[in-house]
């Protein structure tokens, strides 16, 4: 009884340390390399090989293929990535995740405490965020090693436990029924644990302690490659049709790859043994297998590299297949909107910021349409209730986007962010708020005119001057928003000079109108409406300048 209890608490304790170490490592690497990853994502092209390299590099950096695939599903859902690009990135992510296997195949007993010792001082005492994150990364690696060592120690007594050996006997045989059972078990456990890296660690710990043989470990690893696709499938629930296709492409790719290897699994095991010196199941006197960890890591890498090379020429066919099994929505084209996918703990700050910036670009497009609609409404001799209703619809949309983005970035800011990411997140929240205010003032401009006689309030010279002022202000708004596109040059001083000129222009227009009213050319009541409209448009100028300042802070943040 005491022995069983010891095995259980050492197993779960080791698993807990391993999990926390992987999370610490992934979060800290995301913080350190967030800006690099953002640049990589922004440089995505339709080249399938480059897409694979992007997936490979990003997953190597963040040490989690699940995070990469969830990120890809989110990007496809937001319209930032095509289906073909997404499939290429997923291929690369499958290769990148094999680095974890090589990392944990290192002799854990030697290096676990070394990394903890190297990491705790900068993690606790460093004033620089970068050095703190490097310390956390070192702590994470050390905890991964210690967790694996603890799990290995927990499994050692099971080698001589006959009840346990009898319970796993069905998975230990060397025939296709046993291989299939092991694959299914690896798939099921990975779906439950939601981490192929954790299951790979457990598999290596079981094999290294001598509890299972190499061929059983290979079958478990194949199953883990199928099970890991559940993360992306869950992330695609509620997303648009292309996001569902990306998740299903991931599942289809891994499933077909496993089926191909499954047909020749005995020869595959022999081939891996042939590639590395020594026999994987070589056992020391204490019952441990010192060579099996590297053999498992190679088997994992070879599977994903080979599958990617085989499927890469057929990426378009895979895209067509998942498009066929996931038809377009009958309701119509999916709305382009920002969706927080999956568990907020899985949100990747660098990619979430890119997604939020794209949402701001979408919001600016809505403002452009709203401006044109408002100008059309003001230009007509008689008020058009349908156009006014459409203006109000656009205002409601911007309100929703502002709330959506603020909540989204609020969740992201709970994560560990780099200095640059914090600046970006704060700037995005400010831009969302300013865009919402601009929409409010466009709607107010139309409402002011709707409440008063349109012909009396806006006609003749004052109408021409007001329309010119609106055009000038909107041209200025476009100038202030150029920084949303990273390729554009953002000149804050030019924005400030132009803003002052527009302020003077607004005062001049109001003074001229008051002078005309005093001469009896316009109804006195019209001066109040006209003045309110000029003030509303002038407020748009003010909020546009605030956008320029926020973008300037993003573009000039420390490198």
- 191-217 per-position pLDDT tens digit: 887 777 778 888 888 888 888 889 899
Share of the chain above pLDDT 70, in %: 84
Residue among 228, 162, 157, 151 at smallest CA distance from 189 = 228
The span from the CA of 556 to the CA of 239, in Å, is 34
Q: How far is CA 207 from the centre of its chain?
A: 34
Q: What is the pLDDT of residue 340?
A: 40
Share of the chain above pLDDT 90, in %: 21
Task: Tell me how far apart the 2 most distant CA atoms of the chain are, in Å.
Answer: 109
Q: What is the pLDDT of residue 337?
A: 45
Nearest 10 degrees: Cα torsion 503, 505, 511, 512? -160
The span from the CA of 243 to the CA of 416, in Å, is 27
Q: What is the pLDDT of residue 278?
A: 82
Report residue 471's pLDDT band, with 50, 70 and 90 as the boundaries. very high
Report angle CA 496, 500, 505 to the nearest 5 degrees.
145
Report residue 486's pLDDT band, with 50, 70 and 90 as the boundaries. low
Which residue would you say has higher pLDDT here, 392 or 328?
A: 392
Mean pLDDT value across residues 323-327: 87
Q: What is the pLDDT of residue 336?
A: 43
What is the pTM for the complete model shown?
0.68
Q: Which region holds residue 46: left if phi is over 0, alpha if psi is between -120 and 50, else beta?
A: alpha
Sign of the four-CA dihedral 366, 367, 370, 372: negative
The span from the CA of 399 to the CA of 432, in Å, is 9
Report residue 262's pLDDT band, with 50, 70 and 90 as the boundaries. very high
CATH 3.30.1330.40 holds for 347-555: no
The span from the CA of 67 to the CA of 348, in Å, is 7
The 8-class DSSP code of residue 345 comes to G
Q: How big is the chain by its Cα radius of gyration, in Å?
A: 30
Mean pLDDT value across residues 266-291: 85
Residue 462 reports pLDDT greater than 80? no
Report angle CA 459, 461, 463 to the nearest 5 degrees.
45
Q: What Å distances lie between residue 414 and 20, 32, 422, 461, CA to CA?
A: 17, 16, 10, 54
Residue among 483, 484, 494, 495 at smallest CA distance from 541 = 495
Report residue 160's pLDDT band, with 50, 70 and 90 as the boundaries. low
Q: What is the pLDDT of residue 552?
A: 86
Mean of per-residue pLDDT scores for the chain: 81
Task: List all residues 6 or more positions away from 387 whose beta carbon is below 8 Å from its beta carbon.
Answer: 373, 376, 377, 380
Report residue 542's pLDDT band, with 50, 70 and 90 as the boundaries. very high
Most confident option among 8-12, 65-69, 70-74, 213-217: 213-217
* Structural domain boundaries in the chain: 2-161+173-325, 347-555
The span from the CA of 550 to the CA of 79, in Å, is 24
Sign of the four-CA dihedral 451, 456, 457, 460: positive
Mean pLDDT value across residues 520-543: 81
Q: What is the pLDDT of residue 258?
A: 93
Residue 558 reports pLDDT greater than 50? no
What 3-state class would DSSP assign to 1?
coil
Dig out the tokens for 103 from the structure: 């990392």
The span from the CA of 121 to the CA of 127, in Å, is 11
Dig out the tokens for 74 from the structure: 């989110």
Q: What is the pLDDT of residue 368?
A: 94
Dig out the tokens for 40 from the structure: 């990589």
Backbone phi, then psi, for 453, in 5-degree steps? -60, 115
The 8-class DSSP code of residue 458 comes to S
The span from the CA of 258 to the CA of 191, in Å, is 16
56, 74 in Cβ contact below 8 A?
no
18, 143 in Cβ contact below 8 A?
yes
Which residue would you say has higher pLDDT here, 168 or 320?
A: 320
Residue 344 reports pLDDT greater than 50? no
Report angle CA 335, 339, 343 to the nearest 5 degrees.
155
195, 182 in Cβ contact below 8 A?
no
Most confident option among 99-103, 115-119, 287-291: 115-119
Residue 364 reports pLDDT greater than 80? yes
The span from the CA of 301 to the CA of 97, in Å, is 9
Q: How far is CA 385 from the centre of its chain?
A: 41
Q: What is the pLDDT of residue 333?
A: 44
Report residue 538's pLDDT band, with 50, 70 and 90 as the boundaries. very high
Q: What is the pLDDT of residue 295?
A: 92
Chain segment 416-449, per-residue pLDDT in tens: 777 788 888 899 999 999 999 999 999 998 888 7
């Amino acid at each position: 009884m005491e022995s069983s209890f010891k095995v259980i608490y050492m197993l779960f304790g080791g698993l807990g340390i391993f999990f926390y170490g992987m999370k610490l490592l992934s979060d800290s690497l995301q913080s350190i390399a967030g800006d690099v990853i953002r640049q990589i994502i922004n440089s995505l092209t339709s080249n399938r090989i480059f897409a694979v390299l992007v997936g490979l590099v990003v997953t190597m950096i963040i040490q989690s293929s699940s995070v990469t695939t969830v990120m890809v599903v989110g990007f496809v859902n937001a319209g930032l990535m095509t289906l073909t690009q997404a499939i290429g990135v997923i291929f690369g992510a499958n290769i990148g995740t094999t680095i974890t296997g090589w990392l944990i195949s290192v002799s854990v007993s030697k290096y676990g405490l070394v990394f903890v010792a190297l990491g705790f001082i900068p993690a606790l005492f460093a004033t620089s965020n970068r050095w703190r994150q490097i310390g956390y990364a070192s702590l994470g690696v050390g905890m991964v090693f210690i967790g694996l060592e603890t799990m290995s120690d927990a499994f050692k007594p099971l080698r001589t436990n006959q009840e346990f050996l009898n319970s796993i006997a069905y998975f230990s045989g060397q025939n296709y029924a046993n291989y299939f059972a092991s694959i299914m078990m690896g798939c099921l456990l990975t779906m439950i644990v939601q981490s192929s890296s954790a299951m790979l660690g457990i598999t290596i710990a079981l094999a290294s302690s001598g509890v299972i043989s190499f061929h059983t470990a290979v079958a478990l690893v194949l199953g883990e490659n199928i099970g890991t696709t559940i993360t992306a499938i869950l992330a695609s629930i509620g997303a648009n049709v292309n996001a569902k296709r990306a998740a299903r492409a991931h599942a289809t790719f891994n499933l077909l790859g496993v089926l191909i290897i499954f047909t020749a699994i005995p020869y595959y095991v022999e081939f891996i043994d042939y590639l590395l010196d020594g026999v994987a199941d070589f056992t020391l006197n204490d019952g441990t297998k010192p060579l099996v960890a590297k053999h498992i890591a190679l088997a994992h890498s070879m599977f994903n590299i080979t599958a990617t090379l085989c499927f890469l020429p057929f990426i378009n066919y895979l895209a067509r297949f998942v498009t066929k099994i996931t038809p377009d929505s009958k309701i119509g084209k999916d709305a382009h909107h920002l969706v927080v996918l999956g568990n907020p703990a899985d949100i990747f700050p660098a990619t979430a910021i890119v997604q939020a910036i794209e949402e701001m670009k979408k919001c600016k497009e809505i403002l452009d349409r709203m401006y044109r609609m408002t100008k059309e409404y003001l230009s007509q001799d008689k008020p058009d209730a349908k156009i006014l209703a459409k203006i109000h619809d656009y205002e409601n949309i911007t309100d929703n986007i502002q709330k959506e983005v603020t909540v989204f970035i609020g969740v992201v800011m709970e994560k560990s962010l780099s200095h640059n990411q914090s600046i970006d997140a704060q700037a995005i929240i400010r831009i969302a708020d300013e865009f919402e205010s601009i929409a409010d003032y466009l709607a107010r401009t139309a409402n002011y005119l709707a409440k008063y006689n349109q012909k009396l309030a806006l006609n003749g010279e004052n109408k021409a001057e007001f329309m010119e002022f609106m055009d000038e202000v909107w041209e200025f708004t476009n100038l202030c928003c150029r920084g949303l596109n990273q390729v554009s040059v953002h000149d804050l001083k030019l924005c400030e000079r132009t803003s002052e000129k527009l302020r003077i222009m607004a005062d001049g227009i109001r003074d001229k109108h008051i002078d005309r009213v005093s001469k009896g050319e316009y109804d006195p009541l019209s001066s109040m409406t006209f003045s309110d409209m000029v003030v509303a448009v002038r407020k748009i100028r003010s909020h546009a300048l605030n956008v320029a300042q926020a973008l300037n802070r993003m573009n000039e943040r420390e490198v």
